[in-house]
Amino acid sequence: MPDSTAQPTASPLRRTPRGGTPHPGRVIAGGFAAAIAVGTLLLSLPVAHTDGGADVLVAVFTATSAVSVTGLSIVDTGTAWTTCGHLVIMLLVQLGGLGITTAATLLALLLSRRLGLRARLVAQAESRSLSAGDVRGVIRTVFAFSLVSEAVFAVLLFGKWALLDGEPVLRTAWRAVFYAVMAFNNAGFSLASDSLERYAEDPVTLLLICAATLLGGLGFPVVFELARGGLRDGGWRHPRSWSVLTRITVTVTFWLLAVGTALMAVFEVPNPGTLGGLGPVDQAVGAFTLAVMAGSAGFNAVPIGAMTPEGMLVTDVLMFIGGGSASTAGGIKVTTFGLLAAVLWAELRGDEDVEVGRRRVPATTQRQALAVALLGMGLVAVGTLALHTTTDQPTDIVLFEAVSAFGTVGLSTGVTADLPPAAHVVIVVLMYIGRIGPLTLASALALRERAKLHHLPEERMIVG
């Protein structure tokens, strides 16, 4: 055990007063800002827009939405942009998705080393210092996993559409690649003005896109552990042997999908504007698709503006929670939500420790989860208020738009394009902060942790 009274050594992750390695959060924020700037420049070129040049605000909005893998748009993506523009959007989404996954995974490794935790975020191995080879290996694996997954889903979508849609082969192939990249990276850009509404009665297409969305939204560390550590001696390992990260992610995701699908069916099946006019199988798949897409993907197979108020509220909750850590999904993350639920359960039971998967969760991690959740609620509240002051839309509509932007989901009730420029700026800021905010905040809180050599006297206060 290290001597707790020893003088702390300078962390390689802290910025020294005279330079040195910058804080990872600053690198992430600067990197995404630079990608947005480049994307804005490319989308402003005459060859990218069908009208010979995009408005600056349209280019900034679209670039931010693409890099943050959101999918919100203030123009019709299918008709406003040329093939070159679509290619730029797809590359920006790919860059944003790979950057998010890689940065979050490396941060998880760096933070586990910084905090001295025996974490099993990757390959369930004891955490150790990262060498250059480790970093290169993680980056290569993340890139390979992402590109191979997208290629597989592109082939599956091409096979489905080539057999039934009757479109030219090259156009079908391009659409398959575009939607595979968008689905895996949880970005809701669509080449059709109605998103996936044309496939409302095509359960195979919807389930393929949902599968790609869930795979990208689980997070690389979880998928890597399930793929390489899930099997042992020819059989599936018991979930009790999974890491806490994997257990929380898989369990919370399952229950969110189950409860979300059930609630969507209850509220939207009687609604003739959404699921009411479909057959029983299509209604079940449609309810499941609504629950999956609310997690961060942003595609819609039914008109979002026609949803019931109850269905929209359920969507708000799912969008705010988002997907897995170190994934392409947004929101406060299912791990944050699951950990806070574990804290609440422990408090209700009167337990002194918060335990998940036969492991005790440190108080510092609990505080970090609380900070991320409160930051998210604060940003959504401020964003909703800002949108309210710039538009005459009702509260439920502007709340939906704010949560969708913060959660980098991309779902919209259809009013995004009609909002004034000031509201578009607010949404751009929400998308950017929503993409980098929780990640950089969590890393900043973790890297600032330090051992105290003394503690003040304890005093209890009334709570509640």
- What does the longest C-alpha to C-alpha distance in the chain come to? 75
Residues 281/287, Cβ–Cβ less than 8 Å: no
Bridge partners, 232 (sequence order): 235
User: Please, which pLDDT band fits residue 42 given cuts at 50, 70 and 90?
Assistant: very high
Q: d(Cα 119, Cα 121) in Å, to the nearest integer?
A: 6
Residues 144/98, Cβ–Cβ less than 8 Å: no
DSSP states along 365-392: HHHHHHHHHHHHHHHHHHHHHHHHHH--
Lowest mean pLDDT among 8-12, 105-109, 318-322, 452-456: 8-12
Q: Which residue has the higher pLDDT, 121 or 269?
A: 269
Q: What percent of the chain has pLDDT over 70?
A: 78
Q: Which residue has the higher pLDDT, 35 or 53?
A: 35
Compute the average pLDDT of residues 409-426: 93
Q: Where are the beta strands (DSSP E) in 106-172?
A: none
Residues 62/91, Cβ–Cβ less than 8 Å: no
Residue-wise pLDDT tens digits, 183-228: 999 998 999 988 999 999 999 999 999 999 999 999 888 888 888 7
SS3 356: strand
Compute the average pLDDT of residues 276-303: 94
Q: d(Cα 282, Cα 287) in Å, to the nearest integer?
A: 8
Bridge partners, 231 (sequence order): 236
Q: Which residue has the higher pLDDT, 403 or 442?
A: 403
Which residues does 16 contact at the CB level (< 8 Å), separation at least 6? Answer: 10
- If one counts every other C-beta atom within 10 angstroms of the C-beta of residue 307, the result is 25
Question: Left if phi > 0, otherwise alpha if psi is -120 to 50, otherwise beta: which for 299?
Answer: beta
User: Please, which pLDDT band fits residue 124 given cuts at 50, 70 and 90?
Assistant: very low
Backbone angles phi and psi of 58, in degrees to 5: -65, -45
Residue with the two structure tokens 């299509």: 282
Residues 325/108, Cβ–Cβ less than 8 Å: yes
Cα–chain-centroid distance for residue 190? 18
Q: What is the DSSP letter of 7?
A: P
Residue 53 tokens, joined: 């040049």
Lowest mean pLDDT among 72-76, 134-138, 360-364, 398-402: 134-138
Nearest CA to 66 out of 209, 210, 188 is that of 188
Q: pTM of the predicted model, to two decimals?
A: 0.85
User: Please, which pLDDT band fits residue 425 given cuts at 50, 70 and 90?
Assistant: very high
Q: Does the pLDDT of residue 462 top 90, yes or no?
A: no
Please give the pLDDT value at position 122: 36
Angle between helices 56-67 and 421-447 (to 10 degrees): 30
Instruction: Please compute Rg for the chain using Cα positions.
Output: 22
Q: d(Cα 245, Cα 253) in Å, to the nearest integer?
A: 12
Nearest CA to 320 out of 212, 436, 399 is that of 399
Please give the pLDDT value at position 23: 62
User: Please, which pLDDT band fits residue 10 given cuts at 50, 70 and 90?
Assistant: very low
Q: Does the pLDDT of residue 18 top 50, yes or no?
A: no
Q: Where are the beta strands (DSSP E) in 220-356?
A: 231-232, 235-236, 355-356
Mean pLDDT of the chain: 83
Backbone angles phi and psi of 131, in degrees to 5: -90, 175
